[in-house]
Structures are given as structure tokens and as C-alpha cells.
Structure 1
Amino acid sequence: MKKETTSSAKATPKPKVSEKKATAKKKAGSNPDASAIKCTEVTCQSSEQVTNHIPNQLTNQSAISDRLIATQPTSQSISDFPIDVLPAKLQEIVNEANATLGFPKDYIAGSMLTAMAAVIGNTHSAEAMAGWKEYAILFVALVGCPGVCKSHPLSYLMQPLIDHDAGKAAQFGEELKRCNAAMELPPKERGANGYELNPAEPRRVRFMMQDVTNEAVHRILSENPRGLILMYDELAGWVKNFNRYNSGSESEFWMSVFNHKVAMSDRKSSQSGVFIRNPFLCVIGTIQPKVLTDLAANNRNANGFMERILYVFLHSTSRLRGVKSCQGLSG
């Protein structure tokens, strides 16, 4: 005779997927700590030294011709970069540059973030609490193997700033000619010829720097209090410049700049000491995974230098067609 086993307990039905989602939303909405989360307060720094020169092209880059549209691999649209946190206009630029030019979203967004940080510069800061302010200073490394399209998105996003600097350089040249012409005349004749009696030497307003010495960095920073970008196509060239002087002091200088601390220079090569109260300088460049060890050399992996860099790696499935991944790291 067969035995029959019975149970007085009824089987509990599994909740439907929709019910799970509703429960999750309810729990999230009832989070008692949600009210404790506050956005940082942004305050504007109204300084006469800050010059207002924001290139309009930064907000007009989405006007890309339809003729450039080409079919790209589906994986190219995949990104680990939190694109959704960007304003809608910037998200549009990222998506269109990805769809029409085939640039990886990770590199587009990383480059754009740095360009926008430099444009903001010293004009705004985020105040976490009384006396604690943070500025939008970024050190960014676009990491990837050769041929994965690192340099193109970097150049594309920096082009508005380069165009701006070209216009300012031409203006500076004309002002310098006028200043030199005035100085060649005796003071009594300057006014009669339409010049100032004691013309001030013009300064070159800019956003971009490339391959400069440490002395030049101090000088250019003092002339551009709003903010700057130091761009390297190969970021390894940045740390190689550290060896021109004491490598330890160079990395300390850059860590100080990252923290928006006072920058001073009293080297013999300078005619006079340079004092910069609020240095604002972003750094961006491309680098290959195997070269990352160069950044960590000379104890830079232990003094906090490496931790100040934002590393933008290409999504593991976002490689261009025909490009193999690096050994051990996806390109």
C-alpha cells in the first residue's frame, strides 16, 4: 500500500515581478536617512581678477552634420561612465559624437568633464561645510591600448578651447605691438600719438597649456587666474618633466595644485618670485595600461599622487572593430 504524506501548511505563492518592484520602490521611498542627504552648495567667487571668457562653442558641439553619420558597432554605445548625471545638453553631445564619429562614450565624457571644469575654473566652488570648499580641479587619464581612439575624442572636446585661445593669441599680438610702439616713443609724445603715458604690458589670456616647464606653469597661472588645462597627448610626458628638477618636489607641487593650495616659485631663473593664491589647473592626457607604472614611480604610488587622478578605462566591450585588447586589460 502506498503511503500518502499530507501537510496542513499551504504553499506560499511567489510574488510576481511587478509586486517585487513595487515593494522595492516602497522601501526606497520610506528610507529614514533620505532626508539627511543634501546637495553641496555652490557659491560664486566674485573676483575682479577672474576674466569672463567662456567659449560659446562648448554648448554648440551637438550641431554635427548628418553626413558624418556612419554605422558603428553596437558595443561602442556601451559605457560605464555615468552619462546620466550630466545635463541634458551635454548628454546629447556625448551621444551624437558617439553615434556620428564613433568615439567611445567613456573618453568623450571624460574629456568633456575636464573641459567644462576648466571653463568653470575659480568662478564657482562647492561648500561642503563652513570653511570647506572644493573646486572642480580634475587630473584625468584616458587609459587604453594603441588604436582604441583615445586622442581623437580628447582633441575634439578641447577644440573649442583651442579656438578660443587662438583668437586671444591674435589679440595679444596686436596689443603687444601697440605697447612696444608706445614704449619706443618719449613719454611726452605718447599721448599725442594716441598711446597711454605708461602702458601696461598685455597678458595672454588662455585656457590651454602643452609641454611647459614648471616656471612657465607658474607664470601662465599667474596671468590666468580663472583656470587652465595642461593637456598631453601622451600623459607619460607629464611625469617625465618631473625629472627636470627634484622629482619629489614636482609631485608635491601638483598635489598642492590639485588641492587648490597657494603656489609659490622663487627659483633663480625667475626674475621675481611668483605667488598664486588660488591656482586652478586641470590635467588631462592619454596613456597606455603598460605605461601606468611610470606614473607610480618615485614613490608616487604611496604619497597620494596616484589617487588624485581619475582613470577613464574604455568599457570592456567597446573596442573598435579590428583592434585587439591589451594583454590582461581591455582596450
Structure 2
Amino acid sequence: MKVDKINLINQESKNTKLSNIKDTAIQQLDGIVSSMPSDIRALINEAFVYKRIPKEYLLSSILFAFSSGTGLAFKINCMGYTNYANLYFTIIGSRGDTKSEAINIACKPLNKSDSENYKSYRKELKDHKKQEITSNKDEPVRKQFLLQDATIEAAKHVHFHNPYSIGVNLDEIYFLVQKMANERGNEGPAWRNFLLQGYTNLFIDIGRKTTDSYRLENSYPTLIGSTQHQFLKKNFANGNLESGFIDRMLFSNLLVDNSKISKEKLSEEILNNYHVLLKGLINYRKHIENEKRECNVILDKGVDEKLHEYSQILLNSKKKTT
């Protein structure tokens, strides 16, 4: 048999395996979406039809939004550990794949809350400056869920004033990766260390001569950003793989796309139902946060056993690959 014929057979075998993997992934995606609450399921399905947003992109963005909204208010105790819901996502695609639109739709209730809080903060700050001569009240602080552009020192300070969570929302995650790759600066490695420690909700303790000292007993950062295929390999370089940062990242690759442009719009009712759902979580979380407590979510026996079984499968798979 000629070499080129052998190469062709090998390539066809690889393509078949890749096709089978993708088909399995699509089936799993459909299973996950179908198990979501009806308001979330409807948004994912209709956004795919009317706005051409890949289901896996919007699903990841919604999980990020609810992760950010949950914060340290809720936890589960399972397998000997206390577990919180903070997650890190990277959405992978080409230009025009509606990566940013997925994040915008999912995070709109959080952004709206941040806008309202910012207006309140500006008013309180203005009133405070008028009264600071006669008042001993502390300067008001800005409450927010999401950050877009900040130094690592500013991000930690914002998290101190928002102790239950801080979400990092980046349109292009590659720029953060570039900072991490810069061995001459401290900013990138400090970001990586913050996200590594924050993933397991470790404490933050800051002491500087030029700034106020502060401490968080538990941290809770969340992260989402998009990247293009050609930049993806850079995420694995310059210590990100070795440090375990990549292991903590959930990558959302394009599985299903819709090439048909619709003349119809996404239903306002479906959008509103989603907003009400996430807003309900936010309000409940604020109530818990105001009382400075946490809510322990009790898993029923079936869920607890399924989580234990799944974790064991992951551990076994890890051992097979090492």
C-alpha cells in the first residue's frame, strides 16, 4: 500500500474520531440545556435561532452570571470540603461568532444593578463631601458585581469593598494572558496568583506603606473572557499550564452554529423572564450579605452520590493520563 494511501486512511480515522467526539459533545450540550430551568432553556434556544448565538456560548455566559450573582452567600459541604460556586470561563471562536453578545445578554441584569449602584454611590459621595466637615461618617463605597478594566491592586481593593464576590468580565482574555507572560512586571503574576488563590476562596491580606491595609477572610473572584483560535495556545504558555491556572479554566468551543439570519427579534418576554430569575437571586444574595452570613445548600442523597461518583471518575481519568 502506498504511503499517501496510508496517510489518507489515518486522516480519515482521525476525522471519524473527531466527528464522534463532537457528536458526543453536542448530545451532552443538548442534555445540559434541556435540564436547565425553563426560563434559561428558552433564552438559550431562542437566542440561537433569532440572534445566532451558539448555545454553548450563552450557556457558559449564564453560568458565569449566576456564579457572580451567587457569591459567598451560598455553599455546599461535600466530600469533606466547603465548596462555593465561583467559575472561570474562556469562550473560543472567530471574529463575528457573537462571543461578546452572549456575555452581554447573560450579564445584563448584573450590569443594570451595577449602573443603579453607581448612581447611588455618586449621590452618596456628593452628599458626604458636603457634610464631611460636620460628620464623622466614613466615605461611601461603590457596590458592584463586575469589573472590566482594573489593575490587580484596584481589583483586590474593589473586592474588599464587595467581599461576597467580584466578577472579572473581559472582552478579550488574551490581554490578561499577555500580562501574565510579562516576566519583567509584577502585574501579570499577581493576577494569576489572585485567580489561583481565589478559585479555592483563600484569604486576601494586603499591607502596604502607601495604602490602607485590609483583609478578606475568603475571596470569591469569577472570570469570563473570549479569545480567538490563533491566540488560544498562548493561554497555555509562560507558567499558566504549570501553575494550574489552565486546569481551573472552563473552555467553551464552538459546537453548534446557525448560519441563517432571522428577521425576527428575540422575545422581550423571554429576556424579561431571565432577568427576573437572576434578579431574584441577586436580591436574595443581598439579604444574606446584609446579615453577614452564608446559606448552606443541603444536597439530597441522590445528588450527593452523583457528585461523589462524578468526582471519582475525574480523579481516575487524571491518574490514567499521568
Partner residue in 1 for 2:153: 215
> 1:122 is matched by which residue type in structure 2?
L
Partner residue in 1 for 2:122: 173
State TM-score, norm by structure 2: 0.67
Where do 4+ consecutive residues of structure 1 move more than 3 Å?
A: 241-244, 246-250, 319-322
Partner residue in 1 for 2:70: 120
> 1:202 Cα deviation (Å)?
0.7
For 1:120 and 1:160, how far apart are their aligned partners in 2? 13
For 2:92 and 2:238, how far apart are their aligned partners in 1? 21
Task: Tell me the matched-pair count.
Answer: 232
- Match of 1:147, SS state, is coil
> 2:157 is matched by which residue type in structure 1?
R
Which of 95, 101, 106 is the equivalent residue of 2:45?
Answer: 95
Q: Which has the higher contact order (CA 8 A, sep 6+)?
A: 2
Partner residue in 2 for 1:62: none
Partner residue in 2 for 1:293: 233
Partner residue in 1 for 2:199: 258
Sort the Cα spacing of 1:236 and 1:271 in 2 relative to 1 into closer, same or farther, 3 A: same
2:267 paired with 1:318: no
* Structure with greater helix percent: 2
> 2:131 is matched by which residue type in structure 1?
A
Are the aligned partners of 1:215 and 1:265 in contact in 2 as well (CA < 8 Å)? no
Which of 125, 147, 153 is the equivalent residue of 2:102?
Answer: 153
For 1:219 and 1:236, how far apart are their aligned partners in 2? 23
Sort the Cα spacing of 1:121 and 1:319 in 2 relative to 1 into closer, same or farther, 3 A: same
For 2:85 and 2:111, how far apart are their aligned partners in 1? 20
For 1:312 and 1:249, how far apart are their aligned partners in 2? 25
- Per-residue CA shift, 1:257-290, capped at 9, x if unaligned? 111111223345x512231111111000101122
For 1:86 and 1:92, how far apart are their aligned partners in 2? 9
Are the aligned partners of 2:67 and 2:86 in contact in 1 as well (CA < 8 Å)? yes
> 1:233 is matched by which residue type in structure 2?
D
Sort the Cα spacing of 1:291 and 1:319 in 2 relative to 1 into closer, same or farther, 3 A: farther
Sort the Cα spacing of 1:238 and 1:80 in 2 relative to 1 into closer, same or farther, 3 A: farther
- Per-residue CA shift, 1:279-310, capped at 9, x if unaligned? 11100010112212222221211221101000
- Match of 2:234, SS state, is helix
Sort the Cα spacing of 1:265 and 1:170 in 2 relative to 1 into closer, same or farther, 3 A: same
Which of 173, 177, 193 is the equivalent residue of 1:239?
Answer: 177
Partner residue in 1 for 2:264: none
Sort the Cα spacing of 1:319 and 1:291 in 2 relative to 1 into closer, same or farther, 3 A: farther
Sort the Cα spacing of 1:93 and 1:311 in 2 relative to 1 into closer, same or farther, 3 A: same
For 1:247 and 1:213, how far apart are their aligned partners in 2? 10
2:247 paired with 1:307: yes
> 1:79 Cα deviation (Å)?
7.1
For 1:247 and 1:178, how far apart are their aligned partners in 2? 37
For 2:223 and 2:119, how far apart are their aligned partners in 1? 25
> 1:229 is matched by which residue type in structure 2?
G
Unaligned runs of 5+ in 1: 1-77, 188-196, 323-331
Name the % identity.
25
State TM-score, norm by structure 1: 0.65
| Structure exhibiting the larger radius of gyration computed from Cα positions | 1
1:193-212 aligned within 5 A? 197-212=135-150
> 1:285 is matched by which residue type in structure 2?
G
Sort the Cα spacing of 1:321 and 1:238 in 2 relative to 1 into closer, same or farther, 3 A: farther
RMSD between superposed Cα atoms in Å = 2.2
For 1:254 and 1:162, how far apart are their aligned partners in 2? 22
Unaligned runs of 5+ in 2: 1-25, 262-322
- Per-residue CA shift, 1:143-198, capped at 9, x if unaligned? 112221211111121121111111110000010011111113xx3xxxxxxxxx31
